[in-house]
Amino acid sequence: MTANTTAACCAPIAREPLSESDAAELAGLLKAVADPVRLRLLSMIGSHAGGEACVCDLTDAFDLTAPTISHHLKVLRTAGLIDGERRGTWVYYRIVPEAVNKLGALFAPLAEPELVTV
């Protein structure tokens, strides 16, 4: 397989070794979503109508206290996966597409590998 073929068919993690800075950045994103509650929160925010969700829409889905949900949202926000905006009493969260796309692109092949027939 040539370098061009590799680049066209393989996910970035299989294309070439990650740089130290890229690995550190991606590890932070992966660490943030490596918790079932945070992964669910990210999914709920991303799939919510209008692309954003009020914290009031998120808390009832979990058997957790509001401070615990706030902690998980803070971890996602600190990692840069979500952003929030206060509107009156509530905070509305939305996904940061560039950050989430980095996670998806890490493992998703850019194209289906060609099947070799013998």
| CATH number for the domain harbouring residue 53 | 1.10.10.10
In a domain, 117, yes or no: no
In a domain, 58, yes or no: yes
Secondary structure E strands in the chain: 52-54, 82-87, 90-95
Structural domain harbouring 86: 3-107
Measure the CA–CA gap between 113 and 5, rounded to whole angstroms: 9
Specify the DSSP class assigned to residue 81.
S
pTM over 0.95: no
Binning pLDDT at 50, 70 and 90, where does residue 5 land? Answer: very low
In the numeric block, the tokens 């209008």 are attached to 50
In a domain, 113, yes or no: no
In a domain, 118, yes or no: no
Q: Smallest Cα–Cα separation from 42: which of 78, 87, 72, 85?
A: 72
Specify the DSSP class assigned to residue 108.
S
- Per residue in 69-114, pLDDT (tens digit) is 999 999 999 999 999 999 999 999 999 999 999 888 887 765 555 5
In a domain, 88, yes or no: yes
**Burial class for 35, CB neighbours closer than 10 Å (0-12, 13-18, 19+):** middle
Our count of domains for the chain comes to 1
pLDDT at 2: 42
In a domain, 116, yes or no: no
In a domain, 114, yes or no: no
